[in-house]
Amino acid sequence: MKLLRYGEPGAEKPGILDADGTIRDLSGLVPDLAGEVLHPEGLARIAEADVSALPRVEGDPRLGPPIAGTGKFICIGLNYADHAAESGMDVPPEPVIFMKATSAICGPNDPIVIPRGSEKTDWEVELAVIIGKKAKYVSEADAMDHVAGYAITNDVSERAFQAERAGQWTKGKSCDNFGQIGPWLVTKDEVADPQKLKMWLTVNGETMQNGSTETMVYGVAHLVHYLSQFMTLHPGDVISTGTPPGVGLGMKPQRYLKPGEVVELGIEGLGQQRQDVVADK
């Protein structure tokens, strides 16, 4: 299934994409795509519904993030060996964990907002793992039982805030509209192997990133297992699993986003995003 949320920010309704690519309204069946709805039993109830009988959503509504109620937005740094190399850093012996504020979350086509004082706003196409079932101390063998599905994220980053000022990475990762998610939550039954997905990103039509989840250092199952040893993962939590090479930081000379530019990105089977770059007011 391809699950989504549509409507104005803060007033999104749950929906599902039918076989023809038409949005169907799920609000008569579930209150939102959050909490227990993302549990295997909740997703099974949606799967049993006659999608063709659900109300059609007319027009071209804004898409919001495909899940609501996210408690944790967990990011994995340097999880592609070639990206670590372009960043001038070693592959870590364990996953590097940092958090992105949930207030950064926005829809897949909402603009990238360059914050005040920024000179180094960068792009990062990433595979997001959406938790559907509570995970605490889970084994790697059982980890995938706790995954609801997958989505695209753009882990937008302000590199000067992230690395050139004192403290941790969080403040360079958490500005408003630095966390586009979507367009859909694609349930895991539609993704044969999350470690074999092509991914790409362009700026103004020029290809910047062209990689594959196949080159991840730590795969999805290991990350869910690993994180669950340190914190309980809850339905709606997002794990953004790292980016392949091609970010602006790694270019010579470095290249960063400017107002008026357009970023497009996609992952095989998960759709694509398009974002206008604007300056914060």
What would the pLDDT profile of 79-92 be if each residue is shown by its tens digit? 998 777 777 777 88
Q: Quickly count helices (H) and strands (E) in the chain.
A: 4, 19
> pLDDT category, 166, cuts 50, 70, 90?
confident
% pLDDT > 90, the chain: 91
Dihedral sign computed on CA atoms, order 87, 92, 94, 97 = negative
pTM value is 0.95
Both tokens of 14, joined, read 């749950």
Q: Which two tokens stand for residue 121?
A: 């706003």
| pLDDT computed for residue 168 by the predictor | 80
pLDDT in the model for residue 90? 79
Domains of the chain: 67-279 (3.90.850.10)
In this predicted structure, the answer to whether residue 260 has a pLDDT above a threshold of 80 is yes
Average pLDDT of the segment spanning 185-196: 97
Average pLDDT over residues 213-240: 97
